[in-house]
């Protein structure tokens, strides 16, 4: 290990973000990549040892980072999202959590061999999932909206409740075993928890009011939010340990439901901050694990306990808690299978392990290896299996990446039709009812509304769509739409038409950093005019003939728009250059009326 604070800090960032990039590139769960990277850098190769390097600051940084991540996750909890799902979600986070606590505690006592006291503390702690594990998994799994909403709400709400439940269990233990502990101390615990939630709610009200009344300038809004989150966490946690997470969750939910328009402008900054902190925290925690702790996980009692938690406790708690709700059997099965544990379980377990040992419970030395074993097992098992299970249960969106087209006109409707023929999911959005009329006469899925409005977040499920084409007549509107979806879909997956009567093409590309559809840079007016004059879309599958031959044989007026790769990926032709097809790809072109409409395979001969 290099004994340099600067080296340790830089390597934590590099390894964390590097693991996230590798996970994205190879399409594996990010939390799996980060956990493995931390173990390799820490106990296996000894490159990092954050606990030794940071000393007392280690736990403080972890606590603040977890608070910020949990706050950012709770900002996604708008009550409009759970219309029709409120009952099963409430049942899962109350009755389901209670059942999981009791069953988990019994498993910890009878299978892992823990004393009742330690078993009930760890049973309460292990009901948590949390945004650090659930949100990255959901981002990659592409579930349908209902099961995704249930898992997201459960993960974020139960995170602070699990920590509080562990505290409550510990307070109960002290109450039952110590003559000096009065019942008033137990009642105070409930009072401090309610007070923490009120502190979070009040902080959210104050921040929201300051923003709405313009008392905070734009350039200070993100720093003010971050400082208020940490202050809210600190005040609640100083009053009663582990209530800080409840406070920041309450603050986030309050702000999420105040409909503050300017707050959404900071969404991407908060997401970037959360990703950075999440990477750092996972690397620091896993790198701080000792080799002895890793070996302790191989204890057969711990392995048996982990298997029971995954295959019995979790499914049973979900099925029992959702009786007489409108959640389907398929949704129950998926939600009952997916419960990865994450940062909160890892961080809080260290605190309780030490407190229990200090109180005289020697078997608490198994708390950390049990936590690590459950975290790693669930992260790997659920992270890699969620997509497969969701597909088998019919709860995953189409595996073929879809296209969101903003702006209904002759060209966009014709392009949407050919995409549907190729089994590409398409959504055509426009704020004009009149412009959508022609599309509604076909099989094209449409959305009538302003795609830039915050309301679309709760009215639309955009999970199936990885590409976006801004096809309105107004250049500035197209540019705004492209900018709004950059974080959501990625810069390389966003395209736009341009209007020759607006800004020049060079200005548009330089100013808005977007990709203009079609190699020849044909304007919106020209494309629509061609379709109205009888130009039609052809689809040609390349088999033996080369792409160059296919292009050469086409009319000079033919325009290749995109290629559907054999992998399912879509490559659009842009101002940067025409795409190139390979064997097995499908070439989609807009051809003049003289050429016969084709849906053929190009073969030799």
Cα–Cα dist 3/21, whole Å: 27
Mean pLDDT over residues 335-352, rounded? 82
Residue 211 placed within a domain: no
Q: Which of 23-32, 507-516, 560-569 has the lowest mean pLDDT?
A: 507-516
Q: Which pLDDT does position 249 carry in this prediction? A: 86
Residue 210 placed within a domain: no
Q: Which pLDDT does position 1 carry in this prediction? A: 58
For residue 513, is pLDDT > 60?
A: no
Q: Taking a C-beta distance cutoff of 8 angstroms, is the pair 338, 135 a contact?
A: no
Cα–Cα dist 156/344, whole Å: 11
**Do residues 444 and 578 share a domain?**
yes
> For the CA atoms of the chain, what is the radius of gyration?
27
Residue 518 Ramachandran class (φ > 0 left, ψ -120 to 50 alpha, else beta): left
* Domain count within the chain: 2
Cα–Cα dist 104/276, whole Å: 32
Residue 439 placed within a domain: yes
Q: Taking a C-beta distance cutoff of 8 angstroms, is the pair 349, 335 a contact?
A: no
Best-predicted range by mean pLDDT (20-24, 194-198, 549-553): 194-198
CA distances from 86 to 89, 356, 463 (A): 5, 37, 21
For residue 107, is pLDDT > 90?
A: yes
Average pLDDT, rounded, for the chain: 83
Provide the 3-class DSSP secondary structure of residue 326.
coil
Residue 228 placed within a domain: no
For residue 506, is pLDDT > 80?
A: no
**Do residues 135 and 23 share a domain?**
yes
Question: Which among 392, 420, 449 is the end of a domain?
Answer: 392
**Do residues 116 and 57 share a domain?**
yes
**Do residues 342 and 433 share a domain?**
no
Residue 543 Ramachandran class (φ > 0 left, ψ -120 to 50 alpha, else beta): alpha
Q: Which of 120-124, 274-278, 314-318, 431-435 has the lowest mean pLDDT?
A: 274-278
**Sign of the four-CA dihedral 476, 482, 486, 491:** negative
> pLDDT band at residue 344, thresholds of 50, 70 and 90?
confident
Q: Taking a C-beta distance cutoff of 8 angstroms, is the pair 232, 239 a contact?
A: no
pTM to 2 decimals? 0.74
Q: Which pLDDT does position 596 carry in this prediction? A: 55
Question: Which among 392, 423, 440 is the end of a domain?
Answer: 392
Q: Which pLDDT does position 457 carry in this prediction? A: 56
Longest dimension (CA), the chain: 95
**Do residues 388 and 406 share a domain?**
no
Q: Which of 199-213, 259-273, 485-499 has the lowest mean pLDDT?
A: 259-273
Cα–Cα dist 560/109, whole Å: 66
For residue 267, is pLDDT > 70?
A: no
SS3 content of the chain, % helix, strand, coil (to 5): 65, 10, 25
Best-predicted range by mean pLDDT (267-276, 305-314, 557-566): 305-314
Q: Which of 128-137, 338-347, 499-508 has the lowest mean pLDDT?
A: 499-508
Question: Which among 392, 411, 434 is the end of a domain?
Answer: 392
Q: Which of 454-458, 494-498, 533-537, 588-592 has the lowest mean pLDDT?
A: 454-458
- pLDDT, tens digit, for every residue of 215-263? 888 788 888 988 999 999 999 999 887 788 889 989 988 888 887 765 6
Residue 597 placed within a domain: yes
**Do residues 340 and 488 share a domain?**
no
> pLDDT band at residue 62, thresholds of 50, 70 and 90?
confident
> pLDDT band at residue 309, thresholds of 50, 70 and 90?
very high
> pLDDT band at residue 404, thresholds of 50, 70 and 90?
very high
**Three-state secondary structure along 508-536?**
HHHHHCCEEECCCCCCHHHHHHHHHCCCE
Q: Which pLDDT does position 605 carry in this prediction? A: 34
> pLDDT band at residue 119, thresholds of 50, 70 and 90?
very high
**Do residues 406 and 554 share a domain?**
yes
**Do residues 439 and 556 share a domain?**
yes
Domain with 583, as residue range(s), is: 402-602
Residue 250 placed within a domain: no
| CATH number for 36 | 1.20.1530.20
Count each helix (H run) and each strand (E run) in the chain, helices first: 26, 11
CA distances from 391 to 214, 395, 426 (A): 47, 6, 20
Cα–Cα dist 193/165, whole Å: 11
Cα–Cα dist 247/274, whole Å: 18
Which alpha helices (H) appear in 213-266, and where do they start and end?
221-239, 244-256
Q: Which pLDDT does position 264 carry in this prediction? A: 58
Mean pLDDT over residues 93-112, rounded? 93
**Do residues 343 and 413 share a domain?**
no
The token duo for 216 is: 């905070």
Residue 409 placed within a domain: yes
> pLDDT band at residue 414, thresholds of 50, 70 and 90?
very high
Mean pLDDT over residues 281-310, rounded? 88
b/e 191-228 (16+ beta carbons within 10 angstroms → b):
ebbebbbebbbebbeebbeebeeeebeeeebeebbbeb
Q: Which pLDDT does position 505 carry in this prediction? A: 47
CA distances from 452 to 198, 378, 430, 509 (A): 33, 37, 10, 21
Q: Which of 124-133, 364-373, 533-542 has the lowest mean pLDDT?
A: 124-133
Residue 281 placed within a domain: yes
- Pairing state between β 515-516 and 494-496: parallel
For residue 599, is pLDDT > 70?
A: no
Nearest to 108 by CA among 395, 309, 244: 309
**Do residues 307 and 432 share a domain?**
no
Cα–Cα dist 154/148, whole Å: 10
**Do residues 336 and 469 share a domain?**
no
Cα–Cα dist 253/74, whole Å: 5
| CATH number for 434 | 3.40.50.720
> pLDDT band at residue 101, thresholds of 50, 70 and 90?
very high
**Do residues 591 and 448 share a domain?**
yes
Provide the 3-class DSSP secondary structure of residue 354.
helix
Q: Which pLDDT does position 603 carry in this prediction? A: 45
Angle between helices 57-74 and 244-256 (to 10 degrees): 30
């Amino acid at each position: 290990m290099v004994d340099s604070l600067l080296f340790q800090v830089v390597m934590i960032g590099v390894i964390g973000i590097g693991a996230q990039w590798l996970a994205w590139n190879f399409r594996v769960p990010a939390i799996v990549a980060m956990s493995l990277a931390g173990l390799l850098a820490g106990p296996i190769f000894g490159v990092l040892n954050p606990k030794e390097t940071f000393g007392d600051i280690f736990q403080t940084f972890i606590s603040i980072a977890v608070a910020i991540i949990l706050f950012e996750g709770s900002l996604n909890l708008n009550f409009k999202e759970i219309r029709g799902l409120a009952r099963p979600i409430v049942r899962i986070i109350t009755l389901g959590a209670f059942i999981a606590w009791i069953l988990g505690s019994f498993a910890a006592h009878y299978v892992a061999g823990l004393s009742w006291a330690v078993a009930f503390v760890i049973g309460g702690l292990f009901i948590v999932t949390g945004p650090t594990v659930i949100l990255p998994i959901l981002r990659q799994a592409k579930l349908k909206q209902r099961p995704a909403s249930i898992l997201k709400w459960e993960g974020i709400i139960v995170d602070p409740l699990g920590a509080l439940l562990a505290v409550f269990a510990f307070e109960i233990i002290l109450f039952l075993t110590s003559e000096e502990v009065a019942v008033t101390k137990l009642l105070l615990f409930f009072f401090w928890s309610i007070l923490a939630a009120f502190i979070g709610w009040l902080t959210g009200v104050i921040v929201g009011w300051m923003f709405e009344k313009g008392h905070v300038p734009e350039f200070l809004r993100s720093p003010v939010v971050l400082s208020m989150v940490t202050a809210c966490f600190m005040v609640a946690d100083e009053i009663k340990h582990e209530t800080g997470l409840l406070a920041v969750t309450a603050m986030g939910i309050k702000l999420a439901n105040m409909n503050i328009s300017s707050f959404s402008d900071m969404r991407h900054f908060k997401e970037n901050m959360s990703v950075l902190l999440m990477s750092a925290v996972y690397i620091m925690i896993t790198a701080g694990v000792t080799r002895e702790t890793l070996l302790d996980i191989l204890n057969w009692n711990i392995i048996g306990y982990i298997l029971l938690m995954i295959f019995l406790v979790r499914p049973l708690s979900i099925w029992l808690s959702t009786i007489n709700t409108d959640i389907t059997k398929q949704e129950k099965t998926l939600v009952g299978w997916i419960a990865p544990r994450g940062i909160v379980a890892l961080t809080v377990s260290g605190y309780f392990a030490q407190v229990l040992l200090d109180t005289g419970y020697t078997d608490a030395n198994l708390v950390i290896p049990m936590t690590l074993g459950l975290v790693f097992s669930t992260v790997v098992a659920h992270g890699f299996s969620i997509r497969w299970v969701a597909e088998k249960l019919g709860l995953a969106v189409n595996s073929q990446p879809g296209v969101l087209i903003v702006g209904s006109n002759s060209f966009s409707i014709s392009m949407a039709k050919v995409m549907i023929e190729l089994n590409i999911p398409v959504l055509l959005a426009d704020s004009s009812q009149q412009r959508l009329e022609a599309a509604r006469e076909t099989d094209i899925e449409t959305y009538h509304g302003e795609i830039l409005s915050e309301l679309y977040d709760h009215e639309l499920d955009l999970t199936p769509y990885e590409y976006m084409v801004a096809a309105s007549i107004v250049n500035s509107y197209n540019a705004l739409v492209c900018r709004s979806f950059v974080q959501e879909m990625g810069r390389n997956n966003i395209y736009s038409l341009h209007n020759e009567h607006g800004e020049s093409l060079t200005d548009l590309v330089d100013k808005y950093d977007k990709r203009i559809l079609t190699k020849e840079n044909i304007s919106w007016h020209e494309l629509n005019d061609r379709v109205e004059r009888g130009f039609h879309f052809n689809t040609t599958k390349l088999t033996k003939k080369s792409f160059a031959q296919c292009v050469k044989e086409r009319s000079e007026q033919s325009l290749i728009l995109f290629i559907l790769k054999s992998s399912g990926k879509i490559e659009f032709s842009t101002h940067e250059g025409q795409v190139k097809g390979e064997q097995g790809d499908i070439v989609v072109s807009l051809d003049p009326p003289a050429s016969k409409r084709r849906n053929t395979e190009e073969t030799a001969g």
